[in-house]
Structure 1
Amino acid sequence: MNTVLLTADHVIIGPADQVIIDGAVLVDAGVVTAVGTASDMEATVSANVPRLRCPGATVMPGLIDCHVHLAFDAGPDPVGTMARTSSEDLALAMAAHAQQLLRAGVTTVRDLGDRDALTVALRTAIDAGATLGPRILAATTPLTSVGGHCGFLGGEVDSELAIRMQIARNKEAGADLIKVMASGGALTPTGPRMWEGQFDANQLNLIVSEAARHGLGVAAHAHGTDTIAACVAAGVRTLEHCSWRTPDGFFHDRETTRRIVKQDIAVCRCVSGDWRLFLEQLGSERAEAMGRIIREMRDAGVRFIAGTDAGVPGARFGDYAGMLEFFAGLGFKSAELLDMATTHSAHALGLTNTGNLTPGMRADLIVVEGNPLVNLEALRHVRHVYTAGVRA
């Protein structure tokens, strides 16, 4: 495994308020072995160790994207395209999507719905070193109602037995977590509306408890206010979208938000780089309401995590920074956004060996031009990417 000493103007250790000016990171055998000032590290690290000097740059933890769909192509009809693509060609396309994410500085992704557990095969290939890509956490087949959101992925369930069997199949296929489509969604216009629930409280409780029996957490696609409350009561690990929709617009249930904070449930708002177009289509009044609710949740202490929904229409795999820029427009500070993209996401995903650059952590790190704490634009200029100590 490669050994290298990286030096840069800034090293963001993580959380983002821990910064070393003129810092250095020593990587060996796939892990971070030491962090400190460049002068101290240069004096103590053997001259035989290769150096990668990065003036004018920042070394920081690799980015984490908590919500992607590698099997989709981000085009206008990702569902139809996937349906027309053979498993062999789809696997190649998914590998290409994973590499696009890696080049953008994303070293960990959570895939929340694929076909035929192809993400598991890709995960295996990446872990074996057969291909380069970010670390993958795979949900495999999402659970949904009959005729429900993303039922075309094969996870329709209509009884307690069917729920248990699908979770068991996912576990056997190699799933790292369970995804449930708790509400309707835009990709399935023939199914329930976005604010409508697809499972009742008893079913959601069963999904969470059955997943836990297999050692898995649950990520819940939940748009509707009532559905969000039911998912929180059931004890899901993360809420995807969490847009508080009702038939008439949006309604933020502050009591449910208090429970989200108390139960340490993370919220992934799933914002893609084309968010300006989304807000335009939403309309100024509804866009303002959505932004106000996000700020209220932030003020209440909700832990937001980073996710782009990459693969759905307009959500390109290489535009991670665009998602963070959306939150910056709502008043989030750069340090908050970097924590959202690293330490907070690692915590929510249950990853204890990534998200910061302390000794012993997996060497998932990136080098970006400039200083992202001063200007987020730095994240669009990735010089180098390391995943488990391997330079991409």
Structure 2
Amino acid sequence: MISDTAAAPPQARLNRSVVLCVVLAVFAQESVWNFYDAQVPAQLRDYISSAGLVGLLMGLDNVFGVLVQPWMGFYTDRRARAKRGRWPVIGVGAVLCAVPFALIPWTDSLPALIACIAAFALIANGFKGTTETLVSDYVATTERGKAQGFVMAGVSLTVIVSSLISLLVVDRSVTLAFAIPPLLMLLMFAAAWAGLGRRHAQRFVNQPTADGQDFGSPWDVVKELIRDPSRTRLLLMLGTFCFAGMWNALRSLTTPYGMEVLGLTRGESGGLALPGAIAFLVAVVPIAYVSNRLGQVKAIQHGAGVFVAGLLIGFAAPDRAMTMVSMTVATVGYAVFAVNALVALWQLAPNNRVLGTYTGLYTVASASAMAAGPALLGAVVDVTGWRFMLLDAAVFGALTFALFTRLARRSTGRVSEPAVP
């Protein structure tokens, strides 16, 4: 049962300077990942003509995320209350991954390029979840939902930064373009540490105590989650898989949908998602504040409903303008999920010493979904035709809505961290 039995002290308030530093840290790593996703496929195309093989190699980071992040989350959970907490892992990881990233455009063969890609993806995944867990380290329990809204706004800004680097630098110097994101990452991490380092000793002052069950390995955490008779956390991870999968499928197939159904060019089809991206940036912080009052799971339930409604709008009126409206509405629905899902999972952790591990488990669910979602929706589209793609996605979205409706009915109010035994 989702309960309110261990909310943070009522005097806890959202410290905006702390949140800004956490946003800088997440912005640092996401600025590299966004440029990676945007430009590495083009680098691979210099050697590989098969789009399927390019996609397979680009999926390496999801595979590494599933394999690495739960273990690194568990390791940093053990270090969280040490002198420098999780920061050594973040600092060392950032410096190490910057090297293979910057070397990508200097490679002169496919094996060398793949080696750089694999090295970057492996090392960067080693501290990706750790950086995201900083929210739970420095922000009081009842304020994490609000903080996550600012974090997601920062993440969305990295798309703009990546696009500007691509637009202004890539055609002039690819090597310089690949040097800018890692340099920006290191500078932003340094700024985040400068702001948070002096608060390090006091960072748990508003957090629950560290008493409770100890775990010897990530597998012990997983076993405890599976054996939970309420199945609430398993259902939440299943919901994460469904929502993240359909969102990634929608992003992957919108461009061919625009070309096949709406008769648009490739460039015009790629622009269908632009209004939604702007709406995401504008909406995430207000969504976080509303969700904090409503409750994370119930908010996601409503977001799933909005997501389905947006898809149905596009199916009912298959033209360019209404499809853009459809994508915008669906994106706002997804934004509710993006802000709240990880926070809800943190709040249901057995104690606050496994939050990094739970961030890794969230990655397992979301990264697996990102790999499977496009293939699943694409297979259904092969049967029904492109005209029915949005309806197909809406059907899957309705299943997600039903799942979160079931979870919301178990809620007795706002999702919060359960009592620590």
User: Which category describes the TM-score, using the shorter chain as reference length?
Assistant: under 0.3
* TM-score normalised per structure 1: 0.25
Q: Which has the higher strand share?
A: 1
* TM-score normalised per structure 2: 0.24
Q: Which has the higher helix share?
A: 2
